[in-house]
Amino acid sequence: MNIDSSNVSERDNHLPDKNDWQYLLSEFQSISHDFLNKLESKSVATLSPELAASGLSEKGEGMTELLNTLKSALLPQMSASRGPRYWGFVTGGSTPVATFADWMVSLLDQNVAKGGDSIATQIERQTIEWLVELFDLPSSFTGLFTTGATASNFLAAVTARQFAGQQQDIDVAKAGMRALDVEVFSACPHASMIKTLGLAGFGQHNIVWVNTEANSEKMDTQDLAHRLETSSAKSKIVISSAATVTGTSFDDLQHIAEVCQEHKAWLHVDAAFGIFERLLSYETSDGDYVSAGLELADSITLDGHKWLNVPYDSGIFLTRHQELLFQSCHVAAPYLVNSGNGPDYMSLGIENSRRFRAFPTWMTLFSYGREGVAWWVKKNREQAQQLASYIDKSVGYQLVYPCDLNVVLFKPAGKTDCAEVLRQINQTGRLFLSPGKWDGEDIMRAAICNWQTEQTDIDIAINVLEEVAATLS
Ligand SMILES: *Cc1c(COP(=O)(O)O)cnc(C)c1O
């Protein structure tokens, strides 16, 4: 099974051939080495990428041409988002073990729809159990991997919908929402939650807005209690945050859960990256752990492809009410019978055919353990605080909000245009930040969630900020 590239180019057709493995594996190895070795010197982002226009190839261009194009035109225009100084949005970077696992996922190409033909289903189930343990949640939480936190929030919306239906003797999955009398309450939901409330039929514009506490994105629990009290809807759903994506505010989940119980409301908590706080258990000024009460939620969204540093396609949905999720996602079909060991994943999620997306998380937890994950989470939080304290003292920038977790919010000092400064920073290719809003004003966000980020990266970032500030004064 050994062929070299000259053989590949001499072929008179471009059809798949089992002799291609060796060639592609050796190319893959050298490309991987090259990409990883250059990761830290490569431009962190390609701000204006260009793909040559081209029509569909009739006979195929073949692998030699493919690899030429890949190396010359595509790879140089990729971002270094897996690297140590891509701080836009909330972006992790896959670790060596997680990346290896993802290669394995492609190699193995399992369909984790139902059990009965592979160990993959059991591995996904064990991964969920390990995550529940990692985050110190009760074992009554079960769930599954999704494509991302957005898909998890969608499952939260449909499960909550089914719960509301159950309160009103309507099987929403079967009968639809027409007769359902329900209200959704939220203070500062992630944009993806608003999107999924639209997808699930609640309507993006049909949210009862709860006040936030002053100068914070934290839900005002008293205001929530008041709104639930005065609502005439037969069913109520509360969407809470731990933490919000900009201010990293944690709602007071303990009290919110009590209020929800009192009003028989469903409580969903979007804890996409804030849940990693549980590995640090940092306290609020009044001595409570900030995510205390999370265990009382009816459902929880979390994201592996952020702070867990596994590749994309790693959202996680957890709920204490698997039967409602099952009712929402199961459809009876003769060729889709469940395998018998509890419901299969095709009856608990959006997709029927499913990528073996739990594997990178399984390998991560197997290999690095709780301490490994806690190591980079703690490190990133300290790095964010170091950056925040530099910004707070700097002449060129102004910290707009104290950094509690791993997101630093700031803007240029004085009246300088924030968007322009952000563009200049990203243009250096040494650092990548993303925009945000705070109190109606444009700001920049630096979110640090990468295992690879080191002191030298913080130093480089500070140099970039100093250089850009100098050109402005
Ligand atoms: C990132 C994020 C999401 C969306 O996650 P995707 O994985 O991008 O779909 C949802 N909620 C919160 C709080 C997030 O930070």
Spatial CA neighbour of 46 closest among 98, 88, 12, 103: 88
- What percent of the chain lies above the pLDDT cut of 70? 96
Which of 36-40, 324-328, 341-345 is least confident? Answer: 341-345
Per-residue pLDDT for 3 more than 50?
A: no
Measure the CA–CA gap between 346 and 364, rounded to whole angstroms. Answer: 24
Give 281 or 188, the one with higher predicted confidence.
188
- ∠ Cα 196 199 205 (to 5°): 75
Tell me the mean pLDDT in the region 114-129.
Answer: 94
74: its two tokens: 């595509």
Pocket of ligand 1 (CB under 6 A): 90, 148-150, 190, 192, 245, 270, 272-273, 303, 315
Tell me the mean pLDDT in the region 292-314.
Answer: 98
Tell me the mean pLDDT in the region 124-144.
Answer: 97
Tell me the mean pLDDT in the region 435-442.
Answer: 95
Measure the CA–CA gap between 291 and 284, rounded to whole angstroms. Answer: 10
Tell me the mean pLDDT in the region 82-101.
Answer: 97
- pTM here is 0.96
CA distances from 335 to 122, 311, 339, 472 (A): 21, 32, 11, 66
- Ligand 1 mean position, distance from CA 149 (Å): 5
CA distances from 33 to 71, 170, 274, 415, 459 (A): 13, 57, 33, 45, 26
Tell me the mean pLDDT in the region 125-133.
Answer: 98
Tell me the mean pLDDT in the region 125-153.
Answer: 98
Output the pLDDT for position 203: 97
pLDDT digits (tens, 9 = 90+) for 215-261: 999 999 999 999 999 999 999 999 999 999 999 999 999 999 999 99
pLDDT digits (tens, 9 = 90+) for 335-369: 777 777 678 999 999 999 999 999 999 999 999 99
Atom nearest to 190 CA in ligand 1: 11
Q: What is the largest CA-CA distance in the chain?
A: 76
- What percent of the chain lies above the pLDDT cut of 90? 91
Mutate to test the pocket of ligand 1, among 81, 192, 197 (most ligand atoms within 8 A of CB): 192
374: its two tokens: 């806690």
| Burial group, residue 261, by CB count within 10 angstroms (0-12, 13-18, 19+) | exposed
Output the pLDDT for position 245: 93
Output the pLDDT for position 287: 63
Measure the CA–CA gap between 243 and 453, rounded to whole angstroms. Answer: 22
Length, in residues, of the chain? 473
Output the pLDDT for position 282: 65
Tokens 């930040």 label which residue?
Answer: 433
- Ligand 1 mean position, distance from CA 303 (Å): 7
pLDDT digits (tens, 9 = 90+) for 367-400: 999 999 999 999 999 999 999 999 999 999 999 9
Per-residue pLDDT for 283 more than 70?
A: no
Q: Hey, what amino acid is at 322?
A: Q
Element (H, E) at 259: helix 253-262
Q: What is the 3 state secondary structure string of 158-172? A: HHHHHHHHHHCCCCH
Q: What is the mean pLDDT of the chain?
A: 95
Spatial CA neighbour of 434 closest among 442, 425, 444: 444
Per-residue pLDDT for 2 more than 90?
A: no
